[in-house]
Amino acid sequence: MPQDAQDDAEPSEELTTPSNSDPAPDGGLRAWLVALGAASTAFACLGLTNSFGVFQSYYATQLLSSSSPDAIAWIGSLSTFLQFAFGGLAGPLFDRFGPAWIIRPAAVTYVLSIFLLSLCTQYWHFMLQTVLSGLSMAMLQFPAFAAVSQYFDRRRGAALGLVLAGSSVGGVVFPIALSRMLNGSNPVSFAWTVRIMGFVVLPLMVFACLTIRARLPPRRTEFFILGAFREARFLGLVAALFLGFLGMMTPMFFLPTYAVSKGMEPALAGYLSAILNAASTFGRVIPGVLADKYGRLNIFALGSVATGVVVMCMNSATTTAGLIGYSVAFGFASGTIISGATTAFSICTDDMRNMGTYMGMGLAVGSLAALIGPPVNGAMLEKYGGFLEVSIFSGVMCLAGGVVAFGTKAATKQGLFGRV
Structure confidence by residue, pLDDT tens digits, 161-211: 888 888 888 888 888 888 888 877 788 888 999 999 999 999 999 999 999
pLDDT at site 417 = 62
* Radius of gyration of the chain from its Cα atoms, rounded to whole angstroms: 21
Least confident window among 136-145, 190-199, 311-320, 350-359: 350-359
Q: What is the DSSP string of 300-341?
A: HHHHHHHHHHHHHTGGG--SHHHHHHHHHHHHHHHHHHHHHH
**Which has more pLDDT, 379 or 118?**
118
Q: How confident is the model at residue 21 (pLDDT cuts 50, 70, 90)?
A: low
Q: Angle between the 266-294 and 320-344 helix axes, to the nearest 10 degrees?
A: 40
Amino acid in position 112:
L
Question: Is pLDDT above 90 for 43?
Answer: yes
**Which has more pLDDT, 300 or 100?**
300
The pTM for the full model equals 0.74
Q: Is 192:9 a contact under the CB 8 Å cutoff?
A: no
Q: Angle between the 355-384 and 320-344 helix axes, to the nearest 10 degrees?
A: 150
pLDDT at site 110 = 95
What is the rounded distance in angstroms from the CA atom of residue 299 to the CA atom of residue 277? 19
Give the residue from 79, 142, 211 showing the smallest Cα distance to 358: 142
Q: How confident is the model at residue 414 (pLDDT cuts 50, 70, 90)?
A: low
pLDDT at site 420 = 64
What is the rounded distance in angstroms from the CA atom of residue 346 to the CA atom of residue 87? 16
The mean pLDDT of the chain is: 83
What is the rounded distance in angstroms from the CA atom of residue 95 to the CA atom of residue 80? 23
pLDDT at site 416 = 63
**Which has more pLDDT, 293 or 127?**
127
Least confident window among 33-37, 115-119, 132-136, 339-343: 339-343
CATH architecture of 27-411: Up-down Bundle (1.20)
Beta-carbon contacts of 345 under 8 Å, excluding residues fewer than 6 positions away, are 237, 355, 358, 359, 362
pLDDT at site 329 = 92
pLDDT at site 357 = 83
- Which pairs count as long-range contacts for 376-380, CB under 8 Å and 24+ apart, including other chains? 376/70, 377/70, 377/73, 377/249, 377/250, 377/253, 377/254, 378/68, 378/69, 378/70, 378/71, 378/72, 378/73, 378/254, 379/70
pLDDT at site 239 = 92
Percentage, residues of the chain above pLDDT 90? 26
pLDDT at site 16 = 43
Question: Is pLDDT above 60 for 9?
Answer: no
Percentage, residues of the chain above pLDDT 70? 92
Question: Is pLDDT above 90 for 68?
Answer: no
**Measured torsion, CA atoms of residues 356, 359, 364, 370, in degrees rounded to the nearest 10:** -130
What is the rounded distance in angstroms from the CA atom of residue 190 to the CA atom of residue 253? 19
**Mean pLDDT for the stretch of residues 117-128:** 91
Per residue in 204-256, pLDDT (tens digit) is 999 999 999 988 887 766 777 778 888 888 899 899 999 998 888 888 778 88
Cα of first residue to Cα of last residue in the chain, in angstroms, is 51
Phi/psi at 316 (5° precision): -85, -15
Question: Is pLDDT above 50 for 12?
Answer: no
Cβ atoms within 10 Å of 80's Cβ, excluding its own: 26
Per residue in 310-336, pLDDT (tens digit) is 999 998 888 889 999 999 999 888 888
pLDDT at site 1 = 43
Question: Is pLDDT above 60 for 32?
Answer: yes
